[in-house]
Amino acid sequence: MMQCFHFMVEPAKSLTAKIKESHKKAKKDRTEPLNDDQLFVVDLARDLSRVCQRSAVLEHIWNLEDTWPTLLCRAFILQWASVLETKTRPMQTDGWPETVEGKLPDLINEQDLLQAKARILNWVKDLRAQPEQSVWPGEPVAKVLEDLQSAWRWGRVPYLLTAMELLMWTLVLQRPDKDTIPQQWLTWKQRSQNIGAISYVPQPVWNWISDAAVEVTLDLDSANPDLLISGDEKKMRCGFERKDVPNHHQRFDGWWCAVGAEGLGPGRYYWEVEVGERDWRLGVAKESALRKGFKSLNTNTGYLTLRLERGTELKALTVPFTALPPGLIPRKVGVYLDYDNGQLSFYDVDKHFHIYTYNESFTEKLFPLFGTVEIVKDLVIRSPAAKTQCLCSTSCLWG
């Protein structure tokens, strides 16, 4: 039996050794001393770890194995000072603390930073009065922390920022029911930073998103006549001849698009799409949105979408459009609609990172939207991969 797994075990051992050596080398090679902002985060991690159970992951921060860049430290300090300032209502959907907008971290006024540190230190005084290991974060948070530690060791997480955030939320909330903290963290994170908010969505949180999976099929009566739709109504691409079909009011006759057969209302929904490499658009269309002609499909006309143009330009079609970094361009997109919390989010399925989130209040049915101009490669609606039992003792080593 062991011989069957030899081809996996040996490369895994080699990779583990390389990663450990990389972490050791990074620590050894760091010759510059930590600055005040970095030391502040290190001390805070030590304080959190002292009080919280199952928080061993933070040892990597205060042992200086996970050293954050100064800009990341500053952004974290300012954001959490804002959280603590409004901690009497941190999870209200209409009043969550936001990240500091209008200022880049390296341009932030030093006085603002000093005030933020003072606010956090005032909170830490109460924290230090608590007995060691006196706070239980809840099993869901503990599982996420374990996954983050494994992902960091394997190089899938650049910094343990999420671990710090989850434990901060646990202490700030001070609620007996902690089972939904990871989900609340996700919603807050995507509301406070709508572009690339999460470099790695922890596996337990990803599983929760995937639990909202729905079967989506294309509505033939909405499809542009130039589109070729597969028999199972899950694949589409552009054809060479325009089909002679009834000109329904709900049919796209300009843009090469189609919507899903079912409109979506209150609740959570998730679907995945394999996209082309040149030009595509995904998202939702409001029930009242017009579909005729070539009027821009953006937030002003009832569409919340991402679009890739010319293979290199990824955009959120806001008004004006929001350009997204080329590094966020996916090949398989997860679309997650949380209707009740007013969020439509897009993820890279293969890498488990967040791409973009629309935040607004929904009042009408939303239809999944699909668009492509590819004539060779199909745009394909996929069912999310089924969860399988892994043999790894902690987080899966194989992604």
- Cα angle vertex 382, ends 378, 383, to 5°? 170
For 11, the token pair is 């490369």
Q: What percent of the chain clears pLDDT 90, i.e. is strictly above it? A: 74
Strand order in the sheet with 379-382: 227-229, 235-238, 379-382, 268-274, 332-338, 343-348, 353-359
pLDDT grade, residue 102 (50/70/90)? very low
320 — alpha (psi -120 to 50), left (phi > 0) or beta?
beta
Nearest to 252 by CA among 367, 135, 123: 367
Q: CA-to-CA distance for 303 and 300, rounded, in angstroms?
A: 7
Q: CA-to-CA distance for 382 and 393, rounded, in angstroms?
A: 29
pLDDT of residue 22: 52
pLDDT grade, residue 243 (50/70/90)? confident
The pTM of this model reads 0.86
pLDDT grade, residue 309 (50/70/90)? very high
SS3 category, 42: helix
pLDDT at 389 over 70: no
pLDDT tens-digit map of 12-36: 555 555 555 555 545 554 557 999 9
pLDDT tens-digit map of 354-371: 999 999 999 999 999 999
The shares of helix, strand and coil residues in the chain, as percent rounded to the nearest 5, are 35, 20, 45
pLDDT of residue 92: 45
Question: Is the separation of the CB atoms in 337 and 269 below 8 Å?
Answer: yes
Nearest to 227 by CA among 210, 214, 240: 240
pLDDT of residue 12: 52
Q: What are phi and psi of 60, to 5 degrees?
A: -65, -25
128 residue type, one letter: R
Nearest to 197 by CA among 336, 387, 61, 370: 336
Nearest to 180 by CA among 98, 56, 283, 268: 268
Q: What are phi and psi of 133, to 5 degrees?
A: 50, 40
For 48, the token pair is 């959190």
Nearest to 216 by CA among 272, 292, 166: 272
DSSP 374: -
Nearest to 368 by CA among 187, 222, 196: 222
For 300, the token pair is 């002003």
- CB proximity list for 168: less than 8 A, separation 6 or greater: 48, 80, 83
Q: Identify whether 326 is preceded by a cis peptide bond (ω within 30 of 0).
A: no
Give the range among 26-40, 122-136, 215-229, 289-303 with minimum mean pLDDT.
26-40
Nearest to 308 by CA among 259, 253, 356, 359: 356
Terminal-to-terminal C-alpha distance of the chain: 23
- CB proximity list for 204: less than 8 A, separation 6 or greater: 140, 143, 144, 147, 182
What burial class does residue 232 get, using C-beta atoms within 10 Å of its C-beta: 0-12 exposed, 13-18 middle, 19+ buried? exposed
Longest dimension (CA), the chain: 75
pLDDT grade, residue 383 (50/70/90)? confident
pLDDT at 4 over 80: no
Question: Is the separation of the CB atoms in 273 and 369 below 8 Å?
Answer: no
Owner of token pair 């269309």: 285
50 residue type, one letter: R
Q: Work out the average pLDDT over 103-116.
A: 77
pLDDT of residue 89: 47
Stronger pLDDT, 104 or 72, i.e. the higher one: 72
